[in-house]
Chains A and B, each alone.
Chain A
């Protein structure tokens, strides 16, 4: 056996699922942001949807400040869901195959009407409690992975870079702790 060159070995260790699906997915996420920005001048983030949508059902001043943007944020979120569904109906279902996409083995695949859908194995209590922290944290911290991570870092905003460094560090510590406690998946 001829050993792989060192860079290839490293790549295989750090990126067991390759890098193409991540890089191409990331470029598309950026492109979606750019399309909205080019037409409207809005650097869109995903987490404000939570507060703006709450303004439909609650008159709290914190939510009412987003009344003017709540309709397009709803459309943006609907677009995200439909875009992911389009992915599920094409690439995930095997209708479109490309060597740039690695399917992966996490969670469970199931079929509904010829469309291959996917469901997580992560336990509901983790999703629910984690979701509450995400809901509180992104709103106090002025952004999430798209607002700070994509638009903010793309803007070379110091606030966003500090924000990303903070949530990334805490998330790594939390993730490692949870795994060390034997919680899986």
Chain B
């Protein structure tokens, strides 16, 4: 990221977040119960949210790299979101799955849940920060010691 950001950079991020959060509220993804109902096969609506969103963003990810060299506010080239595959994707995905299945909450939906008045969701937010902190400590240590940590902190 450049130090001299375009003056519209932050306002645009805010507007994007506003639409994103409104959509999560409207779709009821900010309600853990609705996600848990999906996992119980009682209501398949969640599929429309995830794939509806993926199709809309997918069009932009497919079209923009062909018609433009870079984003107007950052100059960053338009690229797709590609992450390298390794077994962490499976291990982390499985751990996330346990959490999602237990609580019905994922990060974006949790922030939106706070917005619709769900103060109880602070428990989930606290849990997420604790989890992210634990893995960050563990992985920082694993990198610096270049060995697998044995402590279960």
Which A residues are within 8 Å of any B CB, using their own CB? 14-19, 21-47, 49-51, 53-54, 58, 60-63, 68-69, 71-72, 75-88, 91-92, 101, 104, 106-107, 110, 112, 115, 117-122, 124-160, 162-164, 166-179, 185
Chain A residue with the shortest CB-CB distance to B101: A174
CA distance A58 to B53 in the complex (A): 34
- B103 — which chain A residues lie within 8 A by C-beta? 122, 126-127, 129-131, 133-134
CA distance A80 to B130 in the complex (A): 21
Cβ contact within 8 Å between B13 and A40: yes
Cβ contact within 8 Å between B33 and A144: no
Chain B residue with the shortest CB-CB distance to A69: B1
CA distance A39 to B121 in the complex (A): 31
- B149 — which chain A residues lie within 8 A by C-beta? none
Chain B residue with the shortest CB-CB distance to A167: B97
CA distance A160 to B45 in the complex (A): 21
- B128 — which chain A residues lie within 8 A by C-beta? 50, 131-132, 134-135
Q: A26-B23, A131-B125, A134-B127 are in contact. Are A43 and B61 (CB under 8 A)?
A: yes
Tell me the number of A-to-B contacts counted with CB atoms below 8 Å: 566
Which B residues are within 8 Å of any A CB, using their own CB? 1, 8-10, 12-34, 36-37, 39-61, 64, 70-74, 76-85, 88-121, 123-137, 139-140, 143-144
* The 8 residue pairs across chains A and B that have the minimum distance between CB atoms: A79-B17, A131-B127, A135-B131, A25-B27, A141-B92, A117-B117, A130-B103, A83-B21
Cβ contact within 8 Å between A21 and B135: no
Name 21 A/B residue pairs within 8 A (Cβ), A-sorted.
A17-B28, A30-B55, A39-B8, A39-B74, A40-B76, A50-B129, A75-B17, A79-B18, A80-B17, A80-B21, A80-B108, A83-B17, A83-B112, A87-B116, A128-B124, A130-B100, A134-B105, A135-B131, A144-B106, A166-B97, A169-B97
Chain B residue with the shortest CB-CB distance to A25: B27
Q: A118-B116, A159-B82, A176-B39 are in contact. Are A136 and B131 (CB under 8 A)?
A: yes
Cβ contact within 8 Å between A26 and B96: no
Cβ contact within 8 Å between B12 and A36: yes
